[in-house]
Structure 1
């Protein structure tokens, strides 16, 4: 049976400060989330736990730390997360979907071909910054590109927060360059489109063998996609979370992260004549002046405004949905109380 100490699993002073010594003895980390149960790892090995009573497993994320009951049958509570990766759920649902928790570095995987997309990268960078994770852009298929360094430069120009590297995911020595971000209990999460090489990187870092398929020549995308999230031990002593390919990443509650990624525009906006400047046609707009001088791309301003509008819309929708749920719950409780009163 595989057993890891709490520090091996990523336990730090942040989590230790939240518990008593007795609770720390029952601390576990969630490695996978199923429909009705949680898979965890701790000093006692790998265990399967039920969630707390009246709590759905949707409330938990891979990477969460929690305290289990003394009989090791159920998770008693989850600890406050150091970082939280989430998005607005796909479709028309006004819900937040957890992606992963307590991630140190978000590895944003794209490739040196048609998959490279600045707008998508900025979206993932805003997610990382809003969550408090270090962003790492991993450019795959470098061996199939004539000038991989140009893709690295494009990625690094998107934000001063970015570290980018190009590699061949099929080459063990190249994948080993990711070791600094997944050793000594550190957690690296991989996100990106399907077929860009996330599973191949995961194989190299964990020595696992996830099924992967070739690349379609017509669109430079792979056929394989990870279908479930899991926390896996890397050969470098840290942890890896490989997420399913995301067709849509809808941001919510990440306005600060967006401003951090677009810090050049945010800094310019502070010098506009009017505090409520829309950076369109107002006089004294420092942003438009930068565009006129050629120091700021107008497309970058468009992408910044688009992300801010989307984030505001999704955040408002989530807030409204929660308010409706709270009001409905209050009404149900009131009706039940009235029924009990009448039946006395």
Structure 2
């Protein structure tokens, strides 16, 4: 039987090295998830798996469960005699996270170990600059590289105006304009593909993600639908799924997410302009509302910054639990989260200091 090239599916030295800690287990990658079950691919093929009782006991949040894109350690490479058992999840190099649906405060991993996140938005009535800011904030925070993909350009009559608008919120981010009506409408995306690369498509329902993925793959694997009478797209994808690209690499398709709750965002990269202006404010803890000599408010009055963009920044800051914090405080808050298992950042720093002294 021909072996599957796992390096084409993103397996690299980083994951291989970590996998050596589990001598009796095999490495695989989650390619889709169902209720309590997962489809995992190994070098010997695909199989169905479930998590071990020990792993289930250790789970504290939704994000602790395996997700599409995860590299996992399993007890077998065939499921003829029963489902394979997932014993551990290897450390994620990146993760696109959103708040889980409902009233829970849990986080949900949309996709993990991604190299490039394609933020898809159609150029018809679905176009929303504030939603782009939201997606960018989460994408930068995920550790993956964000790229904005504008779809359905054939339905847009003011493309140059929309591109100018995007330039004001997407500093340093590549922007690709596509049209499913053209056979070569997906070609700009090809430069981001390649063996070992994992790309993910995110965006609202019906913006054309599945159509683009079909173009990239070269065949109509995913179901697609047209637009409704109100110029909005119809929802097609119902679950996250990883698909191998014939010319190398893998792509993850995700269900449409019009509203996406956030837990953590990279505000410094998404709002570079506001971050730089904040450094010029008279007060380091300026809220940019009514303080004297506020550089942000001065920029708004001078027409250099829109009031809507500031409101979007403040809204995301509040939603991500960073209200009232400046840039440095936000970074310290993130470090506290990272080191909380050591009893907080101060304890972690003390531990590292003592460790360096003992050398």
TM-score by length of 2: 0.81
Residue in structure 2 matched with residue 33 of structure 1 by the alignment = 33
Is the CA contact (8 Å cut-off) linking 2:54 and 2:87 kept in structure 1? no
Residue in structure 2 matched with residue 215 of structure 1 by the alignment = 227
Whole-angstrom distance in 2 between the partners of 1:231 and 1:24: 26
Alignment RMSD, CA only? 2.6
Once the two structures are superposed, residues 272-320 of structure 1 have per-residue CA deviations (whole angstroms, 9 ceiling, x without a partner) of: 111111111111211112112221112111110011011118999xx9x
The answer on 1:138 being equivalent to 2:144 is no
Match of 1:229 among 235, 240, 244: 240
Residue in structure 1 matched with residue 255 of structure 2 by the alignment = 244
Is the CA contact (8 Å cut-off) linking 2:195 and 2:249 kept in structure 1? yes
Whole-angstrom distance in 2 between the partners of 1:2 and 1:170: 38
- For these two proteins, the number of residue pairs brought into alignment is 315
Once the two structures are superposed, residues 143-189 of structure 1 have per-residue CA deviations (whole angstroms, 9 ceiling, x without a partner) of: 22234343333223312231111111243312132112222121111
Whole-angstrom distance in 2 between the partners of 1:117 and 1:22: 46
Is the CA contact (8 Å cut-off) linking 2:68 and 2:111 kept in structure 1? yes
Whole-angstrom distance in 1 between the partners of 2:39 and 2:263: 28
Indicate the larger mover: 75-84 or 20-29: 20-29
Whole-angstrom distance in 2 between the partners of 1:71 and 1:29: 12
Secondary structure at 2:310 match in 1:
helix
Give the 5 Å matches for 1:241-320: 241-254=252-265, 257-312=266-321
Residue in structure 2 matched with residue 66 of structure 1 by the alignment = 72
Residue in structure 1 matched with residue 119 of structure 2 by the alignment = 108
Secondary structure at 1:77 match in 2:
strand
Residue in structure 2 matched with residue 20 of structure 1 by the alignment = 20
Which segments of structure 1 move beyond 6 Å, counting only runs of 4 or more?
A: 313-316
Is the CA contact (8 Å cut-off) linking 1:50 and 1:75 kept in structure 2? yes
Residue in structure 1 matched with residue 86 of structure 2 by the alignment = 75
Residue in structure 1 matched with residue 349 of structure 2 by the alignment = none
Residue in structure 2 matched with residue 167 of structure 1 by the alignment = 178
How far the C-alpha of 1:75 sits from its partner, in A, is: 1.5
How far the C-alpha of 1:227 sits from its partner, in A, is: 0.3
Whole-angstrom distance in 1 between the partners of 2:295 and 2:190: 42
Whole-angstrom distance in 2 between the partners of 1:16 and 1:54: 23
Indicate the larger mover: 46-55 or 100-109: 46-55
Match of 1:148 among 151, 159, 167: 159
Is the CA contact (8 Å cut-off) linking 2:125 and 2:231 kept in structure 1? yes
Q: Are residues 200 and 21 of structure 1, via their aligned partners in 2, closer, same or farther at CA, if it must alter by over 3 Å?
A: same
Q: Are residues 230 and 2 of structure 1, via their aligned partners in 2, closer, same or farther at CA, if it must alter by over 3 Å?
A: farther
Whole-angstrom distance in 1 between the partners of 2:119 and 2:6: 27
Q: Are residues 27 and 10 of structure 1, via their aligned partners in 2, closer, same or farther at CA, if it must alter by over 3 Å?
A: same
Residue in structure 1 matched with residue 345 of structure 2 by the alignment = none
